[in-house]
Amino acid sequence: MIYDVCVIGAGPAGMTSALYAVRSGLSCVMVEKLGYGGQMAQTPELQNYPGFPEGVSGFDLAQDMGKQAEEFGAKLIRAEVTNIDFSASPKVISTPSGDIKARSVIVASGVESRKLGCPGEAEYAGHGVSYCATCDGNFFRGKDVAVIGGGNSAAVEAQYLAGICKTVYLVHRRDTLRAAEIDVKHFASLDNVKFVFNSIVDRIEGADGKVSGVCISNVSTGEKRTIPVSAVFVAIGKTPATEFLQGNVDLDSTGAILANDSMATSVPGVFAAGDVRQKNLRQVVTATSDGAIAAKSALQWCTHH
Ligand code: NAP
């Protein structure tokens, strides 16, 4: 079968573009390696998505967005996209379980967690090194843990972990957080969050195959010390998930897709939506907006080609 649209990624941008595509009469398949929601599904509570004054679970909202897209006729294939051929007609999207053919493509593959790159990080990944507090925090209930980073993600992760862990060390390389003011203020009410500022991670230590401590250096004084922790949650930002495009679509220096106001990329018939594209504000609300626009552009493309 040749689909009108293949959407790569089923986060809020992908699910919204699929919803708008099928509702405008296009056949549409979403390809997603994990479950619905992407980053959103790992967010315990969204407090800034309009229409939910009490907040809403990112996971629950993701399930509802996916259900809505499927009920209007979008198909979901669970697979990782490993290769693409956008020069072919129809375009080819390759996965280990087979090729998908589509007249247009919406890339909504989101972002991936940035790595520290220090010794011990890869060795203990899944054994105390984590990139998602809501996924793994429960394994460290009542234990001492560290969160690395100073942005919104680190603040959200630290606040979540403060509710279940004994002590949360928030290790940041500067002396102030860049997280939103509302989150920074919230820390004042959390006795078990300890700030470790001006500090970089040298390595992550382990014993018996699991994390036992994080070794840090103070960038001002040069002092080195090890904080004994059972887990290290790395929250130092995200990088766009564009490796599978293998240079076939124009990217900026950070690897984000360059797309115009219509979500059109450098490749005719290929559109981008959500966090994967170069933009100023990466939020669920901007992702869903991108998704709707990308679907409209895909409709125009399919109508004229
Ligand atoms: P971010 O805002 O880019 O912050 C990354 C943090 O990690 C910065 O504090 C940075 O330090 C630090 N960092 C980067 N590389 C590092 C390294 N190699 N070693 C140590 N520290 C390092 O990333 P984010 O917090 O993941 O947020 C990403 C986007 O999602 C942002 O636009 C954010 O606003 C959004 N977001 C929003 C919410 C919300 O609205 N509630 C929640 C989560 C994320 P420096 O400060 O020194 O650069």
Same domain membership, residue 31 and residue 14 = yes
Same domain membership, residue 253 and residue 107 = yes
Buried b or exposed e, range 251-263, using 16+ CB within 10 angstroms: beeebbbebeeeb
CA of 175 to the centre of ligand 1 (A): 14
Active site residue 136: yes
Active site residue 135: yes
Same domain membership, residue 251 and residue 103 = yes
Last residue of a domain, one of 234, 261, 292: 234
Alpha-carbon distance 164 to 171, whole Å? 18
110 Cβ closer than 6 Å to some ligand 1 atom: no
Same domain membership, residue 137 and residue 176 = yes
178 Cβ closer than 6 Å to some ligand 1 atom: yes
pTM of the model: 0.81
Last residue of a domain, one of 234, 255, 278: 234
Same domain membership, residue 225 and residue 127 = yes
Same domain membership, residue 245 and residue 98 = yes
Tell which atom from ligand 1 comes closest to the C-alpha of 117: 18
Three-state DSSP class for residue 87: coil
CB 180 within 8 A of CB 156: no
Same domain membership, residue 186 and residue 271 = no
CA of 86 to the centre of ligand 1 (A): 33
CB 258 within 8 A of CB 252: yes
305 Cβ closer than 6 Å to some ligand 1 atom: no
Give the residue whose CA is nearest to atom 13 of ligand 1: 236
What's the CATH code of the domain at 58?
Answer: 3.50.50.60
Same domain membership, residue 172 and residue 207 = yes
Q: Which domain holds residue 77?
A: 2-112+238-304
Alpha-carbon distance 302 to 268, whole Å? 11
> In Å, how far are 108, 152, 201, 211, 287 from 290, measured between CA atoms?
9, 22, 36, 40, 5
Active-site residue (options: 99, 135, 175, 250): 135
Last residue of a domain, one of 234, 265, 288: 234
Same domain membership, residue 93 and residue 78 = yes
Domain count, the chain: 2
Instruction: Give, in degrees to the nearest 5, the angle at Cα 302 between 299 and 303.
Output: 85
Per-residue pLDDT of the chain (305 residues; tens, 9 = 90+): 999 999 999 999 999 999 999 999 999 999 999 999 998 998 888 889 999 999 999 999 999 999 999 999 999 999 999 999 999 999 999 999 999 999 999 999 999 999 999 999 999 999 999 999 988 899 999 999 999 999 988 999 999 999 999 999 999 999 999 888 887 888 888 999 999 999 999 999 999 999 999 999 999 999 999 999 999 999 999 999 999 998 899 999 999 999 999 999 999 999 999 999 999 999 999 999 999 999 999 999 999 99
